[in-house]
Amino acid sequence: MVRRASIEVNVIRVWPQNFEVQGYDDSMRILGWRGSNLTFLREHGFRSSLQRFFFLIALSASALLLNFISAPDLAAQSTSDIGVAEEEGRIIYDREYFSQFNVISAEDLLRRIPGVQDLMNFREYGERGFGSTGAQILINGQRLSGKSNDIQSALERIQARQVYRIEVIRGNVPGLDVRSEGRVVNVVLEETEDTAYGSWEGRVSNYAAGVWRAGGRASYSGVLGDLEYIIGLEASPWANDRPRSDIFFLPGKPPFSGQRIEGLFSGLHLTGTANLSYTFKNGDSLNLNGSFKDNSRKSYDRSDLFNLSSSGLETPTLSTFNKFATPSTDWEIGGDYAHQLMSGDTLKLLFLISSDDENADRKFSSAAPGAAFAIKRRQILAPKESEKIARGTYRWGLAKGHWLTLGAEVAINTLNQQVQQFIDQGSGLVNVAVPNPDSKVEEIRLESVTEYSWQPLPEVSFEASLDTEYSRIKQTGSAVSNQRNFFFVRPRLKLSYDISPQWQLRAGVERVVSQLDFKDFVSSFRTEDSSNDVVVAGNPNLVPQKNWNYELLIEHRLADDQGVLTLRGFYKDIADHIHKIPVGFGNISAAGNVGSAEFYGVEFKGGLRLDWLGLTGAKIDGGVKFWNSSKADAFTGLKVPVELTSRLNWDVSFRHDTSWYGLSYGVDIDDRSSFFLTDSDFVLKFWPKPNVNPFIEFRPIGSIVVRIASRDVFQPTEPRIVNYFDGNRSTANPTFNELRKWRFGRSITMIIRGTF
């Protein structure tokens, strides 16, 4: 079949004739385009996002101005009649406050409080050991002693009727189980005897590819004497299709070929969790948490390639079919024991044991037009990771307003990974050697914890800490044997000042040492779809990235609990930044330390109730981050932005709860400006589009709640361009460019929830 080819990028139609990309400047921005109206793309991603940024700022400023004009001063009006109170730096929301909403779980409660939306989206990435700055949500004043068994999952299993009150804690409040990053939320559960609660959820989803998936979850929690428990089971299916189309062209020439790609990525995540808490007669407490997850996934994609004539006619040349299967399971057991002495001092012990196993099998097939598919390449990656942590801390009050915490932590992290590649060289698949194909990596880390808190005045709190760590990393394998020792000092200073009941100033400086990803020590394969056969070498000499983080933040709580606004400035000075570097195996790269880098910018976040607009029960949460980054490109030596970072990110969430059959509706929107991704032989620039996710839910009868939600409702089509080079791009010539449009598949999900 012969057709005339065209590629649509947003609203601009790009034809093969008279088409040229002039290239990139030193900052990796597209210099310009010649051809059919392609100047549209020059800075499209940044400019369109910048326009939306200014619109959001104008909207927020208008809302703030109207609020100041119309709302009375907080000091002149009590909020106790709506279930909100304030005491000793804590804003307290009791049951009366939440009675107006359509809620089932503790997570539902938190989403009704302005300004805590961003805390709900927290995930621990790269946290070393237990750390002290984990999720800023506590249960009964305690941090959940787990990682994969995360706090949001626990909140989904706790029913709203179990929650006695919720405390939003501002600033550095001594005695918290985590260091405050601004706001900490404490979920206080009701003290009851011999009670039990159950909840259930069923869901069915339809995806743009015509695929249906069904799943659900159930949880049961209660109290048996001094024992509290929460258990849960969940089956969470997912699917994603992103149809794509490409055209390929030489620099300064019209397109010579193209391809159309369709595929499906899917999985069924099965999860079982348990949380146990026991209070002894002397007041000591023991908490145990466990989880098991099957995160297996699979995918396929088919690509049909064709040549393009000068008149735009297509001639089929090759078809490919790639099939990936990735069995994956992980389990985790964690716990903590707390003992309070007669003096009020506290001794706490924590532990964690976890394991994560994968076995990815990737098969790549191809066929000439009209022929049967044959496997031409196969890749196998089998990483097995484990972590063991034990931590002990002792906290005592030196004097009124002075607290000191001393502690120690030991952690053992291991990775066993094997990598294999098989290629058909004419007579079937044969094993082709890759550099550093197997390794066992083990890290033993010892840390000391010293933390001092001082509250000289009721409105001023100060925190200083000095942590040290010693670690030994040992790697052994068929191609490498290496051992290295590290020692780091991590100081931290934090200051919180309540200027008034409505205004708070926070400042801090901290040194952070990143957790290495041991998978970077062993070879793998590039996941970029146009070059799956490219090997990424392992780097046994990788060292941790070190940051000096500086932050200044001002927070304003609006009158009558109408919302919270924050403005934050930040600067990160990074040493030993980790990104791809060239290695001596031909056109192969590896993760490596590329020197210094920096991030700096400002961030505005807020949560507003919209009662003053006549929308009783409505609120809006959101934020904008405008920032910049810089590092030296390891291949060219030029100063460029840090990969995968956008200069502008923004998000907004609107929700309106009504009293009519518990009807609620809303939408979540997020967007970012363009960003880059680079490797040894390509430069990619991507222009994202906004993700728009609306929902509606209602309570038709009793405790039953029905929710209908959609993701990527407008199925945004997003363009990207890749410049490929013939070898290392620092010296090689450009070979061809790839212009792609791809569409995010829409999904629609119906969820029915209830309690028993």
pLDDT in tens, 40-81: 233 333 344 444 445 445 544 544 443 443 343 333 333 334
List Cα–Cα distances, 326 to 301, 360, 523, in angstroms: 15, 4, 18
Which pLDDT score is estimated for 488?
A: 96
404 pLDDT band, cuts 50/70/90, is very high
Among the residue ranges 47-56, 400-409, 523-532, 583-592, the one predicted with the least confidence is 47-56
Higher pLDDT, 558 or 129: 558
Most confident among 239-253, 440-454, 514-528 (mean pLDDT): 440-454
Amino acid identity of residue 251, one-letter, is P
Percent pLDDT > 70 in the chain is 83
Please tell me the least confidently modeled range out of 163-177, 386-400, 661-675: 163-177
Its sign, for the CA torsion 731, 737, 739, 742, is negative
Inform me whether the pLDDT recorded for 573 exceeds 90: yes
Identify which has the larger pLDDT, 280 or 41: 280
Coil, strand or helix: which one is 67?
A: helix
For tokens 């098989």, the residue is 422
pLDDT digits (tens, 9 = 90+) for 479-519: 889 999 999 999 999 999 999 888 999 999 999 999 899 98
Q: Within 10 Å of residue 299's Cβ, how many Cβ atoms?
A: 18
The whole-number pLDDT of residue 584 equals: 67
Which are the contacts of 584, defined by CB distance < 8 A and separation ≥ 6? none
Q: What percent of the chain has pLDDT over 90?
A: 48
The 3-state secondary structure of 116-140 reads CHHHHCCCCCCCCCCCCCCCCEEEC
Sign of CA dihedral 126, 128, 132, 135: positive
Q: How far is CA 680 from CA 523, 526, 590, 729, in A?
A: 15, 11, 9, 6
Which is more confidently placed, 511 or 586? 511
- Burial of 125 from C-beta contacts in 10 A (0-12 / 13-18 / 19+): exposed
Q: Residue 41: what pLDDT?
A: 33
Q: Let me know: does 550 contact 568? Beta carbons within 8 Å.
A: no
Strand 183-189 and strand 137-139: pairing? parallel
Task: List beta partners, residue 536.
Answer: 524, 589
The continuous run of DSSP H or E covering 356 comes out as strand 346-358
Q: What is the mean pLDDT of residues 728-733?
A: 84
Residue type, 555: E
**Residue 713 predicted with pLDDT over 90:** no
pLDDT band at residue 754 using 50, 70 and 90 as cut-offs: very high
Residue with tokens 């995160």: 295
Q: Which residues pair with 325 in a beta bridge?
A: 298, 361
The long-range contacts involving 470-474, CB below 8 angstroms and separated by at least 24 positions, are 470/445, 470/446, 471/443, 471/444, 471/445, 471/446, 472/443, 472/444, 472/445, 473/441, 473/442, 473/443, 473/516, 474/441, 474/442, 474/443
Banded pLDDT at 631 (limits 50, 70, 90): very high
Helices (H), 397-443: none
Whether the per-residue pLDDT at 604 is higher than 70: the answer is: yes
Question: What is the DSSP track for 654-715?
Answer: EEEE-SSTT-EEEEEEEEE--EEEEETTEEEEE----EEEEEEEEEEETTEEEEEEEESTT-
| CA-based torsion, 607, 609, 613, 616: positive or negative | positive
For the chain, the 3-state helix, strand and coil shares in percent, each to the nearest 5, are 10, 60, 30
Q: Which long-range contacts (CB under 8 A, 24 or more apart) does 275-283 make?
A: 275/144, 275/149, 275/154, 275/157, 275/229, 275/230, 275/231, 276/227, 276/228, 276/229, 277/140, 277/227, 277/228, 277/229, 278/226, 278/227, 278/228, 279/226, 280/226, 281/226, 283/340
Distance between CA atoms of residues 729 and 724, nearest Å: 8
Strands 589-593 and 535-537 come out as parallel
Instruction: Tell me the range of 21-30, 31-40, 94-103 where mean pLDDT is highest.
Output: 94-103
CB 698 within 8 A of CB 75: no
**Of 99-113, 141-155, 427-441, which range is least confident?**
141-155
pLDDT at 387 over 70: yes
Structure tokens at 286: 């023991």
Whether the per-residue pLDDT at 392 is higher than 60: the answer is yes
State phi, psi for 82 to the nearest 5 degrees. -115, 15
C-alpha–C-alpha distance, residues 445 and 413, integer Å: 8
The tokens of 500 are what? 């008034």
DSSP secondary structure letter of residue 80: G
Looking at residue 134, what is its pLDDT? 54
- Please tell me the predicted confidence (pLDDT) of residue 493: 95
Instruction: Check: CB of residue 669 under 8 Å from CB of residue 712.
Output: no
Tokens 């909207």 sit on residue = 59
Single-letter code of the amino acid located at 529: D
Taking phi over 0 as left and psi of -120 to 50 as alpha, with beta for the rest, 312 belongs to left
What phi-psi label fits residue 662: left (phi over 0), alpha (psi between -120 and 50 degrees) or beta? left
Q: How far is Cα 563 from Cα 69, in angstroms, rounded to an integer?
A: 15
* Run of H or E residues at 106: helix 106-110
Distance CA 187, CA 106 (A): 8
**Nearest CA-CA partner of 736 in 246, 14, 117:** 246
Q: Is residue 340 within 8 Å of residue 284, measured between CB atoms?
A: yes
pLDDT in tens, 307-354: 999 888 899 999 999 999 999 999 999 999 999 888 888 999 999 999
| pLDDT of 192 strictly over 60 | yes
Residue 394 and residue 430 in contact, taking contact as beta carbons nearer than 8 Å: no
Question: Among 43-57, 78-92, 134-148, 382-396, which is the least confidently predicted range?
Answer: 43-57
User: Model's pTM, two decimal places?
Assistant: 0.82
Binned at pLDDT 50, 70 and 90, residue 175 comes out as low
pLDDT at 437: 87
pLDDT for the residue 533: 63
Q: Which helix (H) or strand (E) holds 751?
A: strand 747-755
CA distance 288 to 305: 55
The CA distance from 415 to 440, in Å, is 6
Count of C-beta atoms within a 10 Å radius of residue 501 = 12
- Mean pLDDT lowest among 168-172, 536-540, 611-615: 168-172
Whether 388 shows a pLDDT value over 80: the answer reads: yes
